[in-house]
């Protein structure tokens, strides 16, 4: 079965600094990969997804992620953090023909300091 590992349960950056949230996946077949964001007291909202097209995926709010098969990674980046980016971020993996077995990482809480 597929799985994801998010490195770092907490990441703290200064406003304006680069955001890098790490995700490594394991899958025996070409995966679909997702980043979701969860703001306090809200549900999970899709930031971006990789579904076997372009390896560099752009999402909402200036975030992007690059699928690197050789590194089995799908790290999330944003060039300049904003206070409103403070939230919990989840990486998830599924297989193209079956999103019933989507596996989520443990989450990374992003703090943005003024």
Partner 1 sequence: DAGVIQSPRHEVTEMGQEVTLRCKPISGHDYLFWYRQTMMRGLELLIYFNNNVPIDDSGMPEDRFSAKMPNASFSTLKIQPSEPRDSAVYFCASSLEPGRDGFTGELFFGEGSRLTVL
Under the rule (CB under 8 A), what is the footprint of partner 1?
32, 34, 36, 41-46, 49, 51, 90, 94, 96-100, 102, 104-107
* Residue 75 vs 107, nearer CB to partner 1: 107
CB 8 within 8 A of CB 89: no
Q: Which is nearer to partner 1, 25 or 81 (CB)?
A: 25
Minimum distance of partner 1 from residue 74's CB (angstroms): 14
How far apart CA 106 and CA 10 sit, in angstroms, is 11
C-alpha to C-alpha distance for 30 and 67, rounded to whole angstroms: 11
User: CB 105 → partner 1: shortest distance, Å?
Assistant: 8
CA dist., res. 41 & res. 110, Å (int)? 15
Least CB distance from residue 11 to partner 1, whole Å?
A: 17
Separation CA 4–CA 6 (nearest Å)? 7
């Amino acid at each position: 079965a597929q799985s994801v590992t998010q490195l770092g349960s907490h990441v703290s950056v200064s406003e304006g600094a680069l955001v890098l949230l790490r995700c490594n996946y394991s899958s025996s077949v070409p995966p679909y990969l997702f980043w979701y964001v969860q703001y306090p007291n809200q549900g999970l909202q899709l930031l971006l997804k990789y579904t076997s097209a372009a390896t560099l995926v752009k999402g909402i709010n200036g975030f992007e992620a690059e699928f690197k098969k050789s590194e089995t990674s799908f790290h999330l980046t944003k060039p300049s953090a904003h206070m409103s980016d403070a939230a919990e971020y989840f990486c998830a993996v599924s297989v193209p023909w079956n999103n019933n077995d989507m596996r989520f990482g443990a989450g990374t809480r992003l703090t943005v300091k003024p």
